Amino acid sequence: MSETSRVPQPAAAVPQDRWELDVAEKPWDQAPFDNEPPIAGCGFEERLRIKRVVDQAMLDRAGLADLDTLIDHDTFPIPSQKDREGYAPFAWRYWASGLVDFAKVLTAAHRHGIQSRRVFDFGCASGRVLRHFVVENQFQSPSQRRDLWGSDLNYRHIRWLEAHLPEIKAVFNPAIPSLPLEDRSFDLVTAFSVFTHLDTFESTWLCELRRVLSPGGLAYITVHNEATWEDLRAEAGQGSGAVSRHYQSLLAADPEIDKKLAGEMPAPRLIFRFARQGPYTSQVFHTTAYLRQVWGRFFEILEILPRYHFHQTVVLMRKPT
């Protein structure tokens, strides 16, 4: 063997093993980011569009500054559309959706007496919601700023956060349940559009979130339930002409989905698998009764809020003291 043949190939030239693709998304990604400008530099028209989406009264209830002030203080870049995990085709709408969810989270925390000094966003993507925690920290004294953590199985998202939102402690988590976090670490845990895709290890992930929550801590998790099922029923029969990616993925997983949508959910927990490889494989639905019966074994369920995150339902739960 020649000396040159012993030189390792660049990582991009080495094929990824199947197990790597099954436990992580883009584990070897090194492609550069193509960001969009910060929202702080947006013009009058974009601000008007944001104000049509974000209700100032909602911000007031959450104890936040006025909308223009929040826009002016977010000087961080916006990830490109390919790095937004499917959220919003336009940067202003992506930013606004994150702010709406942030305000709802804070309002829920206030309502249930949670201080939320230490926050963990499970499946945080490129910081759609967490970035607003970072902006809010600018209005706090150093001793009052929240300690912010996030994890995701898409390694590219972790790289984005490391590069552009360094205040967030971003960690990679594999699809196999394991969080590199200490027990009883957080007052507040959020998970947007995560359990909507967890076809395996659901209860184990619930236990991991329970482990890292402090006693009395709050979990804010979104799911598909009967309300989502009813919303999708409106798209039945439209086939490739349907608007939502959600319906399209169900149709790809089950050509008979229209017949199923015509009736009630046929099982307490439904899994529609649209891919056979990789961590993103499924759409998952839960009935409210299932959530209370099964998830209620791990947490005290405080509220179930239909359509509180687009077509998804928010489940608010407390870790027992």
Please check whether residue 30 is in contact with residue 12, taking contact to mean a CB–CB distance below 8 angstroms.
yes
pLDDT in tens, the chain (321 residues): 444 444 444 455 567 788 888 899 999 999 999 999 999 999 999 999 999 999 999 999 999 999 999 999 999 999 999 999 989 999 999 999 999 999 999 999 999 999 999 999 999 999 999 999 999 999 999 999 999 999 999 999 999 999 999 999 999 999 999 999 999 999 999 999 999 999 999 999 999 999 999 999 999 999 999 999 999 998 887 876 666 888 888 998 999 999 999 999 999 999 999 888 888 899 999 999 999 999 999 999 999 999 999 999 999 999 999
Structure token digits, residue 309: 């995150």
Question: Which residue is listed with tokens 């006693």?
Answer: 215
Q: What φ, ψ does residue 122 adopt, rounded to 5°?
A: -85, 120
Q: What are phi and psi of 64, to 5 degrees?
A: -100, 165
Look at residue 125 in the predicted model and tell me its pLDDT: 98
Tally of residues, the chain: 321
The residue extents of the domains of the chain are 174-321
Give the rounded distance of the alpha carbon of 249 from its chain centre: 18
In whole angstroms, what is the distance from residue 193 CA to residue 265 CA?
A: 20
| The two three-digit tokens of residue 177, written as one number | 């349940």
Question: Residue 235: its pLDDT value, please?
Answer: 86
Which CATH architecture does the domain made up of 174-321 adopt? 3-Layer(aba) Sandwich (3.40)
Helices (H), 112-144: 130-137
Are the C-beta atoms of residues 213 and 143 closer than 8 Å to each other?
no
- CA–CA separation, 220 and 191 (whole Å): 6
| Dist CA 188 CA 230 (whole Å) | 30
